[in-house]
Copies of this chain bind each other. A is one copy, B any other.
Amino acid sequence: MDVGTFDTQIPVLGEAKITSPIRKIKKRTFGFVSDDERVPVDSDLHKLRERFAKNMEIPSFERAGPREKIYFDTSKLRCALVTCGGLCPGLNDIIRAIVLELNHSYRVRNIYGIRHGLEGFIPEFGRDVVDLNPDVVVNIHEMGGTILGSSRGPQDIEEIVDSLERMNIGILFMIGGDGTLLAASKITDAILERNLKISVVAIPKTIDNDIHMVSRSFGFHTAVEIATEAIKAAHNEAQGYPYGIGLIKLMGRYAGFIAATAALARQDVNFVLIPEVDFDLKGENGFLQALEDRILERGHAVIVVAEGAGQKFFEGREDEYDPSGNIRLKDIGLFLKDSVMGWFSEKDIDITLKYIDPSYMIRSLPANASDRVYCGFLGRNAVHAGMAGKTRLLIGRWNEQFVHVPMSASTGRRKKVDYDGRLWLSVMDVTGQGAMKNSPEAKS
C-alpha cells in the first residue's frame, strides 16, 4: 500500500507542564510514553529501506499512551462525552473506559454525558446532560446501544462551541463516524478561532471497518460474529429445500469488510458481492448465470451482499414511493431478491429463496470480549491524549500499536477492500466465485 504523504503531527493546546498525577495515584512506574515514539505507516522492509537510503521522510504515527507531563489541571478539569450516528457494539464500553480512567487515574470528577448526539449541545432541543461517574457506568457494558443516546445529522458548529464554553469544558470526547469527524474538525477550527483551550479527541466509529489509516474499528469483530450466524441460518435454509437459495444482506455502505470477513469465517458462502468489486447481473458471465450454474450443479447456494454493492443498477431508475408518499430506499438486497426470483421464474426453475437482513440485530448488540478489550484501550488512550493537551486527533490502531492519527489524515477518506489484496483473494478462493463480468475488465 502506498500511503502517500500526509501530515502526521498532532496539534497541542500548549506546553504540557504539569506532572501527571498517575504516578502518585498508581504507586508504581506507569510506562509513560514519549512523543518521540513513533510507528512507521509502512511495514514493508524494502520500501522502508529505500526511503531511508534516499533520506526521505518516513510517514509515521505518534504512539498513544499516558504522558509524564500533562496540560490540564485535573482538579479543575471538566470533560464532556458525546456519541453520534448509528449504533455500534462497544459504545458503552468506550463511555465506561473514559469515565473510569478519568476518575481513577486522573481524579477528574466533572464528566458530562451529552444526550442524543450533537443535538444535546443545542439548547432548543432541551436535552438534559448526564452526570457520569463510576457508579453510573459500572454495568453499562452489558447493554447494547449507548446510554447517552445518539442522533444523526449535523448541528450548528458555533452553537456547539458556545455550549462547550458555557459548560467550561476542557476535553471533549467525540465518538462517531464520518460526519462526526468532520464536525469535530470544524469544532476545533472554531475553538482555535475563539482562542479557547479545549481539546477535541475523537474515537472513530464505523461498524463497516472503513476508517482510513485505522486497521480495525471497534464493533467490527462483534458484527462479523453475528453476521456469521445469519450466514449459517441462510445456509441451513438453502440446504433445506430443492434449489434452495439463502441471500443475506450485510452492512457495508462503501466497503465490504463485514461481508468478506464473515464469508471467510464460514467458508460456505458461494457469492460475495461488495461495493468495491463491480459485477454484471445478466449476460452469460453475469452473476445470475453463475448462480444458475451453481444451483443446477449443487442444488443450493448462499449469497452475501453488502448494502453498498451494485449501486450502478439503480442509476436512472425512477424512485418508487410507499403508500404514504415516502421514497423507497434503493435496497440492493431486495433488488437482488427480486432479480433472482425473476431470473429463475423466466427459466421455469422452481427455487426457494430465503432473505435475511440482520443489520439491526447486529448494531445494537453488546460488544464481544475482543471488542471490549479494544474499546477499553481506545477509551483510556483517548483520555491520555486529551490530558496531554493534544487535539484534532483520533485514536487509531496501526501495526499492532495504538496511535494518534491527525483528523486531517483520516477524515473524508475511506479504507476499502483491496481487489488484489489478501482478503479479497481469499474470498475468491473460498467461494470459488469468478469475475462475473461480461466485458474483460474485472475491476471496479
Residues of A within 8 A of B (CB): 26-31, 36-40, 43-46, 48-49, 52-53, 58, 60, 65, 87, 96-97, 100-101, 104-105, 116, 119, 125, 138-139, 141-146, 149-152, 215, 221, 224-225, 227-230, 232-234, 236-237, 239-242, 246, 261-262, 264-268, 322-326, 335, 338-339, 341-343, 345-346, 352, 354-358, 360-365, 368-370, 372-373, 376-377, 380, 399-402, 420-422, 425-426, 428-430, 432, 434-435, 442
List B contacts of A100 (CB < 8 A): 267, 430
Determine which of B372, B422, B435 lies in contact with A31 in the assembled complex, contact meaning CB atoms within 8 Å: B422
Give chain B residues whose Cβ lies under 8 Å from the Cβ of A358: 358, 361
Q: Which residue of B lies closest to A28 (CB)?
A: B435
Ranked nearest first, the 8 interchain pairs of A and B with the lowest CB-CB distance are A324-B342, A236-B364, A145-B236, A265-B369, A322-B338, A38-B45, A144-B236, A225-B369
B442, A28: Cβ atoms closer than 8 Å = yes
- Kindly provide the distance from the CB of A424 to the nearest chain B CB, expressed in whole angstroms: 9
User: B237 touching A364 by the CB < 8 A rule?
Assistant: yes
Distance between Cα atoms of A150 and B354 in the complex (Å): 14
Chain B residues lying within 8 Å of A43, measured Cβ to Cβ, are 39-40, 43, 399-401
The reply to whether A31 and B420 contact each other, CB–CB distance below 8 Å, is: yes
In the assembled complex, the Cα of A355 lies from the Cα of B215 at a distance in Å of 31
Which residues of chain B come closer than 8 Å to A322, judged between CB atoms?
338, 341-342
Chain B residues near A150 (CB-CB < 8 A): 240-241
Query: In the assembled complex, how far is the CB of residue A85 from the closest CB belonging to chain B, in whole angstroms?
Result: 10
Complex CA gap A373/B370 in Å reads: 14
Q: Given the known inter-chain contacts A31-B422, A39-B45, A323-B342, please indicate yes or no for A240 contacting B364, CB distance below 8 A.
A: yes
Q: For A232, what are the chain B residues with a Cβ–Cβ distance below 8 Å? A: 144, 364
Of the listed residues A265, A325, A380, the one surrounded by the most CB atoms of chain B closer than 10 A to its CB is A265
- Which residues of chain B come closer than 8 Å to A435, judged between CB atoms? 27-28
Complex CA gap A267/B104 in Å reads 12
B residues near A152, Cβ cutoff 8 Å: 241, 352
Residue of B nearest to A242 (CB): B116
Q: Is there contact, CB below 8 Å, between B432 and A104?
A: yes
Residue numbers in B under 8 Å from A370 (CB-CB):
221, 224-225, 265, 370
Min CB distance, A205 to chain B, in Å? Answer: 13
- With the chains together, A242 CA to B116 CA distance in Å? 7
When chains A and B are docked, how far (Å) is the Cα of A228 from the Cα of B138? 16
Bound Cα distance from A141 to B394, whole angstroms: 36
Contacts A/B (CB < 8 Å), 11 sampled: A31-B425, A97-B267, A100-B267, A119-B242, A149-B239, A221-B369, A229-B361, A233-B360, A323-B338, A355-B360, A399-B400
Q: Is the CB of B369 within 8 A of A224?
A: yes
Q: How far, in angstroms, from A396 to B104 measured CA to CA in the complex?
A: 37
Residues of chain B within 8 A of A363, CB atoms compared: 233, 237
A39 surroundings in chain B (CB, below 8 A): 43-45
How distant is the Cα of A402 from the Cα of B30 in the complex, in angstroms? Answer: 32
A143 contact from B37, B227, B236, B355, Cβ within 8 A: B236
* CB neighbours of A31 from chain B (8 A): 420-422, 425
Asked if residues A87 and B240 are in contact (CB atoms below 8 Å), the reply is yes
Say yes or no: B364 contacts A361, CB within 8 Å. no
Contact residues in B for A30 (Cβ distance below 8 Å)? 425
Apart from A37-B46, A264-B377, A358-B358, what 14 extra A-B contacts exist at CB < 8 Å?
A31-B425, A39-B44, A43-B401, A119-B242, A125-B242, A150-B240, A152-B352, A225-B369, A233-B363, A236-B364, A236-B365, A264-B376, A265-B369, A356-B361
Q: Which residues of B contact A145 (CB under 8 A)?
A: 236-237, 239-240
Q: Which residue of B lies closest to A361 (CB)?
A: B233
Whole-angstrom distance between the alpha carbons of A188 and B402 in the complex? 39
Rounded to whole angstroms, the CA-CA distance of A30 and B442 in the bound complex is 13
Specify which chain B residues have a CB less than 8 angstroms from the CB of A215 in the assembled complex.
400
What is the bound-complex CA distance between A262 and B236, given in angstroms?
A: 24
Which one, B29, B236, B422, contacts A87 given CB within 8 A? B236
- Taken together as a complex, chains A and B put the C-alpha atoms of A101 and B377 apart, in Å, by 36
Q: Which residues of B contact A338 (CB under 8 A)?
A: 322-324, 326
Alpha-carbon distance between A37 and B422 when the two chains are bound, in angstroms: 14
